[in-house]
Amino acid sequence: MARGANQKLKLPLLERILLQETDEEHPMTVQELIAALEARGVGAERKSIYDDMEALRQLDVDVQSRKGKSPGWFVGARTFELAELKLLVDAVQSCKFITRKKSDALIAKLETLASRHEARQLQRQVYVDRRVKTMNESVYYNIDKLHAAISGAHAVTFKYFEYNVRKEKVFRREGRRYQVSPYGLLWDNENYYLAGFDHQHAELRHYRVDKMAELAVTCLPRQGDGTCENFDIASYAQKHFGMFSGREGQVTLRCRKGLVGVVLDRFGQDVMLVPDGEEHFTATVRAVVSPQFLGWVFGLGDGVAVTGPDWAVAALEEQMEAVGRQYR
């Protein structure tokens, strides 16, 4: 590109140079900016640079100048602060459902939101205890399809699988497609789940997104509005421990006072706590009494006891008996 040609590219090129090359610690002088433009085949004069900076300000680019020991022009505030980008990078690296390949691609895109100097600080590794990255990259795209289906109130179809001991996919329902009307996506225990109305069983169920295959959004209108009319995704996630199914109901827990924080963390700030003597309190919560819920109770030892209803107490006793038989 000849010098002085394509002057229409000058302003966007200047913005790109500033965004990529500068930050508060790395300003560029006017002469360095002119040289960077000329290296890209666009000529510039000193006076025109000042006019261009004013034009960029009017376009809401936070260009700033500094005099003194380290003079020059740089971009100040950006869409994302460096601390926010670090947080996003950590979240991407820690996320189980995003494959390593997709993690690297997303982080590379996040790096473009900082200067190249600050981007080096984003090239870091986050260690999460016992994290296992999924091998199913289609999860990333399935989530996008499911959001579109929810937004458009359309049903979806998919095949659903588990793994056998040889790590092979085994499709449920002998490989027949599920037909589900999606109502919400939720994140629980490092996995994405779809909560939706199962057309075959005419009830609300949930499915792990990473175990879906050949997902397709149909033109069929969503069903289950009568059953799911008051569906609340947050309430649904709170009741289903680890997304295990079971009998749902109001369960009364008698807990030691030292476990108030544990109960509030699990069931939210709206749960009512009633003092029960000097050292205990009771809490009545709505929960799905599943093996995972009972495991949570077991994990708190003698600090928590299920006191009602009778069927929930019986379920706990049966679980204890079943576990005890394993070791006799």
Averaged over 47-73, what is the pLDDT?
Answer: 92
Residue 316 phi, psi (nearest 5) = -65, -45
Are 278 and 328 spatial neighbours (Cβ–Cβ below 8 Å)? Answer: no
pLDDT at 239: 61
Averaged over 120-148, what is the pLDDT?
Answer: 70
pTM above 0.85, yes or no: no
pLDDT at 135: 57
pLDDT digits (tens, 9 = 90+) for 192-204: 888 899 999 998 8
Q: Is the peptide bond before 309 cis (omega within 30 degrees of 0)?
A: yes
- What is the Cα–Cα distance from 315 to 294, expressed in whole angstroms? 8
Q: Domains of the chain, with CATH numbers?
A: 7-75 (1.10.10.10), 82-122 (no CATH), 141-229 (2.30.30), 240-325 (3.30.70)
pLDDT digits (tens, 9 = 90+) for 156-180: 999 998 887 677 888 999 999 999 9
Residue 157 phi, psi (nearest 5) = -130, 150
pLDDT digits (tens, 9 = 90+) for 267-300: 877 788 888 888 898 989 888 888 888 888 888 8
pLDDT digits (tens, 9 = 90+) for 108-133: 999 999 999 999 888 765 554 445 56
Q: Is 326 exposed, middle or buried (0-12, 13-18, 19+ CB in 10 A)?
A: exposed
CA 156 and chain centroid, separation: 22
Structure tokens belonging to residue 28: 């560029």
Name which of 78-82, 134-138, 182-186, 255-259 the model is least confident about. 134-138
pLDDT at 237: 65
Structure tokens belonging to residue 287: 């929960």
Averaged over 251-267, what is the pLDDT?
Answer: 85
